[in-house]
Amino acid sequence: MPGDTPWTAGHAGGGAWGGCSTLRHLRRAPPSGRPDRRRLVGIPPPEPWALSEPVYETVDGATRGQDIHRQIFEKNLAVQLLLDPESGRIVEANPAACAFYGYPREELIALRITDINILSAADVHAALTRASDERQNRFRFRHRLASGELRDVEVHTGPIEIDGRRLLYSIVHDVTETQRTQGELQRAISLLQSTLESTTDGILAIDGQGRIVSYNQRFAQMWRIAPEVLEGRDDEKAIASVIDQLLDPAQFRRKVQQAYSRPDAESFDVLEFKDGRVFERYSIPQMLDGEPVGRVWSFRDVTARRRAEAGQRESEAS
Would you put residue 233 in left (φ > 0), alpha (ψ -120 to 50) or beta? left
Measured between alpha carbons, how far is 233 from 150 in angstroms, rounded to an integer?
A: 40
Neighbour-count burial for 57-94, b at 16+ CB within 10 Å, e otherwise: beeeeebebbebbbeebeeeeebbbbbbbeebbbbbbb
Q: Decide: 177 and 192 in contact? Cβ < 8 Å.
A: no
| CATH number of this structure's domain 76-174 | 3.30.450.20
For residue 62, what are the CA distances in angstroms to 18, 58, 173, 263? Answer: 13, 6, 32, 69
At 169 the three-state DSSP class reads strand
Report the pLDDT value the prediction gives residue 65, as an integer from 0 to 100. 62
User: Between 301 and 10, whose confidence is greater?
Assistant: 301
Report the pLDDT value the prediction gives residue 69, as an integer from 0 to 100. 76
Instruction: Please give the average per-residue pLDDT across 193-200, as a whole number.
Output: 86
For residue 287, count other CB atoms closer than 10 A to its CB. 12
Measured between alpha carbons, how far apart are the two ends of the chain, in Å?
A: 111
Report the pLDDT value the prediction gives residue 193, as an integer from 0 to 100. 81
Query: What percent of the chain lies above the pLDDT cut of 90?
Result: 63
Q: Could you state, in order of their start, the residue ranges of all structural domains in the chain?
A: 1-75, 76-174, 198-308
Judged against a pLDDT cut of 80, whether residue 55 lies above it is answered with: no
Instruction: Compute the C-alpha angle 29/35/38, nearest 5°.
Output: 75
At 274-309, the pLDDT tens digits run 999 999 999 999 998 889 999 999 999 999 999 998
Report the pLDDT value the prediction gives residue 46, as an integer from 0 to 100. 40
Judged against a pLDDT cut of 80, whether residue 48 lies above it is answered with: no
At 109-140, the pLDDT tens digits run 999 999 999 999 999 999 999 999 999 999 99
Report the pLDDT value the prediction gives residue 121, as an integer from 0 to 100. 96
Nearest alpha-carbon partner for 5 in 163, 193, 183: 163
Judged against a pLDDT cut of 50, whether residue 58 lies above it is answered with: no
For residue 53, what are the CA distances in angstroms to 49, 57, 202? Answer: 12, 13, 69
Would you put residue 31 in left (φ > 0), alpha (ψ -120 to 50) or beta? alpha
Report the pLDDT value the prediction gives residue 3, as an integer from 0 to 100. 46
User: Between 26 and 265, whose confidence is greater?
Assistant: 265
Measured between alpha carbons, how far is 165 from 186 in angstroms, rounded to an integer?
A: 44
Residue 142 pairs in a beta bridge with: 152
Structure confidence at residue 56 as a pLDDT band (50, 70, 90): very low
Ranking 21-25, 57-61, 225-229 by mean pLDDT, the lowest is 21-25
Q: Decide: 190 and 205 in contact? Cβ < 8 Å.
A: no
For residue 238, what are the CA distances in angstroms to 224, 226, 252? Answer: 11, 9, 13
Instruction: Tell me the whole-structure pTM to 2 decimals.
Output: 0.53
Measured between alpha carbons, how far is 94 from 138 in angstroms, rounded to an integer?
A: 20
Judged against a pLDDT cut of 80, whether residue 5 lies above it is answered with: no
Q: Answer whether CATH 3.30.450.20 is correct for domain 198-308.
A: yes
What is the average pLDDT score of the chain? 82
Nearest alpha-carbon partner for 59 in 77, 36, 84, 75: 36
Instruction: Please give the average per-residue pLDDT across 82-104, as a whole number.
Output: 96
